[in-house]
Amino acid sequence: MTNRKRPEDLRSHRWLGVSDLRSFGHRSRLRQVGYDTTDWAGRPVIGIINTWSDINPCHTHLRQRAEEVKRGVLQAGGFPIELPAMSLAEVMVKPTTMLYRNFLAMETEELLRSHPIDGAVLLGGCDKTTPGLIMGAISMGLPSIYVPAGPMLRGNWQGKALGSGSDVWKYWDEKRAGNITEAEWDEIENGIARSFGTCMTMGTAATMMAIAEAMGLSLPGASSIPAADSNHPRMATQSGRRIVEMVWEDLTTEKVLDQAAFENAIKVHMAMGGSTNAIIHVVAMAKRAGVQISLADFDCISRTVPVIANVRPSGAFLMEDFFYAGGLRALMSELRELLDLNCMTVTGRTLGENIEGAKVHLRDVIHPMSDPISSEPATGVLFGNLAPRGAIIKPSAVEKRLLKHRGPALAFEDYNHMASQIERDDLDVTADHVLVLKNSGPKGGPGMPEWGMMPIPRKLVKQGVRDMLRVSDARMSGTSYGACVLHVSPESYVGGPLAFVKTGDPIEVDVAARSINLMIPDEEMARRKAAWVPPPPRYQRGYGAMFSAHIGQADEGCDFDFLSAHLPVPEPEIH
């Protein structure tokens, strides 16, 4: 390659390669660790940003994977440095990991900026860790490769495959309806998470890992490898070898992430029947990269790309099956005619070259485009007087009768209000009601928690009802399903129209027309708006106060205003 870097061009050279007082300090302190000149001289320094923690079960193996990445870096002549970052275990972090995605993005960016790092390996996978790491890496702009944690093995209960999240919601309703026992519920708890790795349904983790690969940020096929498969450590080592070459080639994120790369990612998202959460993350990542992606782009693309991955919650199988079926390379090969195959990737080759020869091995898991698993698309973006800046629904996971529906609202002011009512046997609710949850958005939640798949009222569950129209400014887990209208923007907490809904108001959703409306007169809407009193701030101090002051709405990607701009930041002075 003609523009290959020389050792003195390396960013780390400013710390380690010059002869002055400060570089004496840097080198003498590396010697303190036990390194010597052979470890660093003329070698790219590779920062391994590791989101391992004791309390993140999806990332249990990342401590070991970091060692495997280091092996690859050393084989290729680099100097690996592991830097721990916030872990964001989806099921453990409260009130929601979304409150901290931008925190991880800032941490990633500043860890890379403040240290003598030439290239980055990003270790993550559990939901928000993928966008957090990538947003930070984009803003820093070094050569970067993403190593996805990979999905855990299939769950198992009484011979049936169990999927993370999706089967929890399903069997929880059966338990509420009195159809399964406490002992059986306990068996499910023992069988649903059988190995390290991320959720193995098409949740946010599997969706975002696939999106990262589709954008060109991972080695081909990496995102589909189960965490416990021996291909996984080999992929980690290969990534370590590759990042060293990427530094010499100066293959930065900017050279990989252009408009076409993001559009490829959205197409893959649709074909996978991916998580609604990914929409927020893709918008945020695109802004960081200086690429304009709007909700309308998602809607437009969703109309042209069928869901072909038969994975729960839209389909029947799990990510382990998807891997055996050929994984993401095979899926992208099916989509070949829709993708821009000329996009550059971290391999130094194009997407088209990366998927050359890929084949589908299990046709019931990855369908051809001519035989999609759903006649409905993975995403619909709704607009109307209830969501002037948009709302999201996942039509492929909705009971068909609810795709066009009008019913009276049953409005809850916040989650606690909803939770206090939903189990009441005397609740005045029918299957035609529209459940409305307010104050669950980016500022109101706070952090836009995954409350959007509100429980079906127990009274109706006992009658056999399993889906209802639900509307909120919250998100829902990618493993969730049902007629849930999410991400209503602007949110109710800042005075969006959702704040003005009262129980009994008619709400109409028409997915084919992409509309959502509160069917009250305009004058009544204006009267309620004039009478609305803003709620008090959620936080007086700390990170929460900063979050509240700077967080954007869902349609903007929920990034901080001071981070989303595609502007240069100076390199640190070394004095």
Q: Which residues bind ligand FES (CB under 6 A)?
A: 58, 90-91, 126-127, 164, 198-199, 203, 205
* DSSP H helices in 428-474: 458-462
Q: Which residues contact 14 (CB under 8 A, 6 or more apart)?
A: 116, 571, 574
- To ligand FES, the closest distance from the beta carbon of 485 in angstroms equals 23
Name the CA dihedral angle for 195, 198, 199, 202, rounded to a multiple of 10 degrees: -130
Q: How far is CA 473 from CA 165, 429, 485, 495, 532, in A?
A: 21, 21, 8, 12, 17
C-alpha–C-alpha distance, residues 296 and 473, integer Å: 18
Minimum CB distance to ligand FES smaller for 204 or for 239: 204
C-alpha–C-alpha distance, residues 171 and 179, integer Å: 9
Minimum CB distance to ligand FES smaller for 204 or for 302: 204
Q: What angle do CA 97, 87, 218 make, to 5 degrees?
A: 100
Minimum CB distance to ligand FES smaller for 90 or for 556: 90
Minimum CB distance to ligand FES smaller for 164 or for 347: 164
- To ligand FES, the closest distance from the beta carbon of 450 in angstroms equals 11
Minimum CB distance to ligand FES smaller for 241 or for 281: 281
- To ligand FES, the closest distance from the beta carbon of 190 in angstroms equals 17
- To ligand FES, the closest distance from the beta carbon of 93 in angstroms equals 10
- To ligand FES, the closest distance from the beta carbon of 192 in angstroms equals 11
Q: Which residues contact 139 (CB under 8 A, 6 or more apart)?
A: 105, 109, 288, 563, 569
Q: Which residues contact 10 (CB under 8 A, 6 or more apart)?
A: 17, 44, 45, 118, 247
- To ligand FES, the closest distance from the beta carbon of 205 in angstroms equals 3
Minimum CB distance to ligand FES smaller for 218 or for 252: 218
- To ligand FES, the closest distance from the beta carbon of 1 in angstroms equals 37
- To ligand FES, the closest distance from the beta carbon of 105 in angstroms equals 18
Give the type of residue at 251.
L
The 3 state secondary structure assigned to 229-298 is CCHHHHHHHHHHHHHHHHHHHCCCHHHHCCHHHHHHHHHHHHHHCCCCHHHHHHHHHHHHCCCCCCHHHH
C-alpha–C-alpha distance, residues 329 and 225, integer Å: 11
Both tokens assigned to 234: 């080999």
Q: Going by DSSP bridges, is the β-strand pair 434-437/144-148 parallel, antiparallel, or unpaired?
A: unpaired
* DSSP H helices in 413-520: 415-421, 458-462
Q: How far is CA 539 from CA 92, 102, 414, 465, 548, in A?
A: 21, 17, 17, 39, 8
Q: Are the C-beta atoms of 143 and 259 separated by less than 8 Å?
A: no
- To ligand FES, the closest distance from the beta carbon of 281 in angstroms equals 14
Q: Are the C-beta atoms of 179 and 170 separated by less than 8 Å?
A: no
- To ligand FES, the closest distance from the beta carbon of 204 in angstroms equals 7
Minimum CB distance to ligand FES smaller for 30 or for 126: 126
C-alpha–C-alpha distance, residues 282 and 262, integer Å: 8
Minimum CB distance to ligand FES smaller for 433 or for 475: 475
Minimum CB distance to ligand FES smaller for 120 or for 206: 206
- To ligand FES, the closest distance from the beta carbon of 265 in angstroms equals 19
C-alpha–C-alpha distance, residues 238 and 233, integer Å: 9
Minimum CB distance to ligand FES smaller for 207 or for 564: 207
Q: How many CA atoms lie within 13 Å of 545's alpha carbon, on the beta-carbon side?
A: 4
Both tokens assigned to 244: 């060293």
Minimum CB distance to ligand FES smaller for 446 or for 478: 478
Q: First and final CA of the chain: distance in angstroms?
A: 34
Minimum CB distance to ligand FES smaller for 227 or for 435: 227
The three-class DSSP label of residue 123 is: strand
Minimum CB distance to ligand FES smaller for 150 or for 380: 150
Minimum CB distance to ligand FES smaller for 201 or for 354: 201
Give the type of residue at 508.
E
- To ligand FES, the closest distance from the beta carbon of 160 in angstroms equals 20
- To ligand FES, the closest distance from the beta carbon of 129 in angstroms equals 8
Q: Are the C-beta atoms of 149 and 62 separated by less than 8 Å?
A: yes
- To ligand FES, the closest distance from the beta carbon of 209 in angstroms equals 9
